[in-house]
Chain A
Amino acid sequence: MLSKPLLEFNDNGIYCAAGNFYIDPWRPVKDAIITHAHSDHAKWGHSHYLSHTLSREVLKYRLGDINLETMDYGQTCIRNGVQISFHPAGHIIGSAQVRIEYKGEIWVVSGDYKVEDDGICEAFEPVKCHSFISECTFGMPVYKWKSQEFIYEEMNKWWRQNLEEGKTTVLVGYSLGKAQRILQGLDMSIGNVYTHGVIENTNEALRRNGVQLNPTIRVTPETNREEMRKGLILCPPSSVGTPWMRKFYPYSFGYCSGWMALRGAKRRRAADRGFVLSDHADWDGLISAIKATECETVYLTHGYTASFSRYLSEIGYDAHEAHTLYGGDEANELDEDPVKLVNQDGEVIEKPEEDSTPQKVLSDSEKSIALKKAKKAGGAL
């Protein structure tokens, strides 16, 4: 038995004292292990990064020239006698659960995960451990996902219908993860898929990493508007309501997110269609994942941590709420810090924490500054 827990939560992030490293730290540290490239998990400013191999190009695109080491699933590295390995989290391409073993004690940090195999990233794999640090973004029993095949079918049906009605199809989803998942779920025989600059930059980074994606066409001022009407435009949430999007009028716009499961959230988004497609585990998924780890202790990071830990305690787990900066309690709407909007290259990055921030609220002036910068960098248009 160790004198103190193998992992602890401090002001910088999830810390392993024995190995002197952090997992997904939110403040600059010396040694950071990154579960995946969404920016509430992969922050700028660490001296050294360790991530999964398939996160390499996206991290470099988002964070610039960082000191990055990569590792595949199942490989192991040692820090001060602490054994570290990566295991598929099924969240997005390159997402990993981090397994830590020291003196016979095993902890696993889930990062973000989903249990359904999306066919794009390596499927979630339960890892046996003593303590499990789990996200619970959708840790309420009202969240139950339908199979992705069903959602894809709906999506393609909607695209065909828009085509018949002469409307452009605009589909909104996060640029890293959701966009690629949608792309692979679309029926490419219907038409071309056009991408917003931010999404295309991410696609290019992934392709550089050797990931095979369906063909896409970057939207530029020269792109033929008539042709686009027959296609489908993929764009990030930050483009909703912007002049960029209004140019495609008449259009029908769909929003892809787990939050679309609730009527209220759907109506707030005022989308023409809401597709309940999430890269996070639903209620049953979270519980089955936790059970499969055979752990005794669970720490819950972001989402409905209070309710979910209470429920886990009632079914016999030693469950705790952990305070992290991954979105925080119920923080599903607003971003704290607009600085994050633009990376060093001056490119717009939409609020990256995937599903847990469906809507970015920016003042108009912030939006226009971000857009101008992006234009200069050849990003957004």
Chain B
Amino acid sequence: MRIFAQLFSSLDETNKTTQKVQILKEYFVSVADEDKIQTLALFTGRKPKRQINSTLVKNWAMEMAGIPAWLFEESYQVVGDLGETIALLLPQAIETQDKSLSDWIAEINALSPLSEAEKKAWLISAWQSMDQQERFVFNKILTGSFRVGVSQSLIIKALSEISGLETQVLTHRIMGNWDPATFSYSQLIQETDGSEDISRPYPFYLAYAIQETSSQSKTAKEINSALGNTEDWQAEWKWDGIRAQAIQRKGEIFIWSRGEDLATDKFPELHPFLSELPEGTVLDGEAICFADNCPLPFSVLQTRIGRKNLTKKILAESPMAFIAYDCLEFEGEDIRHLPMKERRAKLELLQKNSSHQHIFRLSPVVNFNSWDELFEMRKRSREEYAEGFMLKKLDSPYLVGRKRGDWWKWKVDPLSIDAVMIYAQKGHGRRADLYTDYTFAVWDQDKLVPFAKAYSGLTDKEINQVDHFVKRNTLEKFGPVRTVKPHLVFEIGFEGINKSSRHKSGVALRFPRIMRWRQDKKIEDADTIETLKEFLQ
């Protein structure tokens, strides 16, 4: 565990990717194979099941540290991370041990039959044998909150350089349902793919945004000079659902979300069409709510994603469809290398043969003759219930991960409104002990009504300035939240807006974020609730 904890802090201490890869390589060659695969599992979000709930962990830590609950809470506010707070508060270790990462994970996994008292005794003796950095990493694993500031592609790169396997091959092999307890490092790196996992999805191909922000809006001319001839490109609407990969192999079906969550059970409406597909078919598309031949807003889909049980009512209110846009496996063969127009032809064939065409839909190809024409059409995206366009090169293969060049997303500019900051709360992680999470309000007559929370969009320098302002202009404190003197105005961008009975303002925004700090505006210049509600139409 000490080596793993050391890996974690070494990765923390550099921002340079080449150095991160080097650190990972040195780590991987220095540890046993079980630790290699456990590390890979942790770094790709495959955490061991949480065996002790965090309230108990907290209570036992307070007891061991000898501090009252309120002081623990305030310490947590300062540190911004539970695992780290506990690591810092506990008294120094009284012994040491040399258990490996896999040893500890095995112990965690064996906890479930133990009584609460036994778990407590185990945890306290574990804490007593670890230094601060070990405790921190251990706590993160134990409480199921392990995250690391290293992208999957860097780990793949390190493993690829060690094993000699191509990065695309490794990326595919670590997709899907595997468990570090049964999948070994030697299986991962053997010459031919040893996996018998029929559920395994392909890595998603992700597009970059053609324009990063609305303030850098691209003209049709710029698009033309960047992408060239329109005849080489296919445009589709960018749908506002959940990107999903639908698999039918050996009569079994699987639906994976882009976050690599197996979501088959969430979408029972999609099962009949999937089961009917020929064996060995994998489709890429959008799971989206659909009624009367028309996509429904994302908020409808949102109501069902979080549910454990899909009641009849929910199924009736949020009927699902699958808008397919690519075919990755056909007749049991991986066809990702074929040009898109050939893959599209196979997809169209599958759809044509389906007896569930109202559920299994094709993402229509949008015809256009010039970028000017498409530019104009893009402005109508919201009327088409889309977020803009996807542009795909007709001869493009289906690549792995986020790549530039062949696929682009061209999103519609976000909606925006000028609002006043009225509450602030401290952030977490890198933003711990800094006021970075804000609540914004617009005018309702002479009162400010809160309507959105946002915590991204400012530069570090601006965050420092706002933090400084908050600390000196606090009107009241409610636990971690501060009421701030209304003074600062920000332009808030958002993707969509819906009526909401749960919010004071009567509306809920989709993906609100700070577009810019309007230092040129006074609070009187902020928008009103009426302006905001006009977006509802």
Q: How far is the CB of B90 from chain A (nearest CB, A)?
A: 10
Q: Is the CB of A307 within 8 A of B433?
A: no
Asked if residues B89 and A142 are in contact (CB atoms below 8 Å), the reply is yes
Contacts of A264 in B (CB 8 A): 79-81, 428-434
Known contacts A264-B81, A329-B471; is-contact A334 B465 (Cβ 8 Å): yes
Bound CA–CA A310/B67 (angstroms): 12
Chain A interface: which of B12-20, B296-304, B486-494? B12-20
Among residues of A, the one whose C-beta sits closest to the C-beta of B477 is A306
Per the 8 Å Cβ criterion, residues 63-110 of B in contact with A are 65, 67-68, 70-71, 74-75, 78-81, 84-85, 88-89
Contact B430 A267 (CB under 8 A): yes
Those 3 A-B pairs whose CB atoms lie nearest each other, nearest first: A264-B432, A334-B468, A142-B88
Instruction: A334 to B462: give the CA distance in the assembly, Å.
Output: 11
Q: How many Å lie between the Cα of A361 and that of B434 in the bound state?
A: 14
Q: How far is the CA of A265 from the CA of B75 in the complex (A)?
A: 14
Which of B15, B75, B79, B465 is close to A270, meaning CB atoms less than 8 Å apart? B15
Query: Which residues of A lie under 8 Å from residue B12 when comparing CB positions?
Result: 263, 266-267
Query: How many whole Å from A93's CB to the nearest CB in chain B?
Result: 30
| Interface presence of A156 (CB below 8 A) | no
Q: Chain A residues near B472 (CB, 8 Å)?
A: 328, 331
A83 at the interface (CB under 8 A from B): no
Residues of B within 8 A of A (CB): 12-15, 65, 67-68, 70-71, 74-75, 78-81, 84-85, 88-89, 136, 428-434, 460-461, 464-465, 467-468, 471-472
Q: Do A273 and B68 touch across chains, with their CB atoms under 8 A apart?
A: no
Answer whether residue A311 sits at the interface, using C-beta atoms and an 8 A cutoff: yes
Interface string of A68-105 (1 = CB under 8 A from B): 00000000000000000000000000000000000000
CB contact between A268 and one of B13, B74, B79, B430 (< 8 Å): that residue: B430
Per the CB 8 Å criterion, the residue count for chain A at the interface is: 31
Q: Does A210 contact B (CB under 8 A)?
A: no
Q: Are A272 and B14 in contact (CB under 8 A)?
A: yes
Interface string of A139-155 (1 = CB under 8 A from B): 01111100000000000
Residue of A with least CB distance to B66: A141
Query: In the bound complex, do residue B71 and residue A141 qualify as a contact, i.e. CB atoms below 8 Å apart?
Result: yes
A144 to B131, CA, bound (A): 13
Q: Is the CB of A307 within 8 A of B71?
A: yes
Complex: how many Å from CA A268 to CA B12?
11
- The docked-state distance in angstroms from the alpha carbon of A263 to that of B86 is 13
CA distance A262 to B83 in the complex (A): 12
Does A142 lie within 8 Å of B79, measured CB to CB?
A: yes
Q: Beyond A141-B89, A268-B460, A272-B13, is A262–B78 a contact (Cβ under 8 Å)?
A: yes
Q: Which residues of B contact A311 (CB under 8 A)?
A: 68, 71
Whether a CB of chain B sits under 8 angstroms from the CB of A330 is yes
Q: Does A53 sit at the interface, judged by CB under 8 A?
A: no
The chain B residue with its CB closest to the CB of A143 is B88
Interface check A226, CB cutoff 8 A: no
* A140→B472 CA distance, assembly (Å): 21
Are A332 and B433 interface neighbours, CB within 8 A?
A: yes
Known: A263-B12, A272-B13, A307-B74. A331 touches B471 (CB 8 A): yes
Query: CB distance B88 to A265 under 8 Å?
Result: no
Most chain B CB inside 10 Å of its own CB: which residue of A264, A274, A332: A264
In the docked arrangement, what's the CA distance between A264 and B434, Å?
Answer: 10
The answer to whether B432 and A265 have CB atoms under 8 Å apart is yes
Q: How far is the CB of B14 from chain A (nearest CB, A)?
A: 7
Give chain A nearest CB distance to B109 CB in angstroms.
Answer: 27
> How many whole Å from A152's CB to the nearest CB in chain B?
18
**Can you list, as one digit per residue, whether each of A198-209 has a CB less than 8 Å from chain B (1) or not (0)?**
000000000000
Q: Inside 8 A of B467's CB, which chain A residues have their CB?
A: 333-334
Q: Does A314 contact B (CB under 8 A)?
A: yes
- For A363, the closest partner residue in chain B by CB is B461
Q: Which of B12, B71, B465 has the most CB of A within 10 A?
A: B71
Complex Cα spacing A264 to B435, Å = 13
Other CB < 8 Å A-B pairs besides A141-B67, A261-B88, A268-B430, 11 of them?
A: A141-B65, A141-B71, A262-B432, A264-B81, A268-B460, A307-B71, A330-B471, A331-B468, A333-B468, A334-B465, A361-B461
**Distance in angstroms between the alpha carbons of A331 and B429 in the assembled complex:** 19
> Are A263 and B78 CB-contacts (below 8 A) given A142-B89, A329-B471, A359-B464?
no
> Which residues of chain B come closer than 8 Å to A262, judged between CB atoms?
78-80, 84, 88, 432-433
How long is the Cα–Cα vector from A111 to B445 in the complex, in angstroms?
50
Closest beta carbon of chain B to A303's beta carbon, Å = 11
Residues of chain A lying within 8 A (CB to CB) of residue B15: 270
Q: CB-nearest residue of chain B relative to A362?
A: B461
CB distance from A286 to the nearest CB of B (A): 14
Task: From the candidates B14, B75, B84, B434, name the one contacting A333 in the complex (CB within 8 A).
Answer: B434
Q: How many angstroms between the C-alpha atoms of A201 and B75 in the bound complex?
A: 39
A267→B429 contact, CB < 8 A: yes
Q: List 8 A-B contacts (CB under 8 A).
A: A143-B88, A262-B78, A263-B84, A264-B79, A272-B13, A314-B68, A333-B464, A361-B461
Segment 120-177 of A: residues with Cβ below 8 Å from B: 140-144
Q: Are the C-beta atoms of B70 and A334 separated by less than 8 Å?
A: no
User: CA separation between A252 and B429, bound complex, in Å?
Assistant: 23
Contacts of B70 in A (CB 8 A): 310
The chain B residue with its CB closest to the CB of A333 is: B464
**What separation, in Å, do the CA atoms of A228 and B512 have in the docked complex?**
49
Once the chains bind, are B432 and A140 in contact (CB under 8 Å)? no
Neighbouring B residues of A270 by C-beta, 8 Å: 15
Q: Which residues of B contact A266 (CB under 8 A)?
A: 12
- Collect the chain A residues with CB atoms within 8 Å of residue B431's CB: 264, 268
Please, which residues of chain B bring their CB within 8 A of the CB of A143?
A: 88
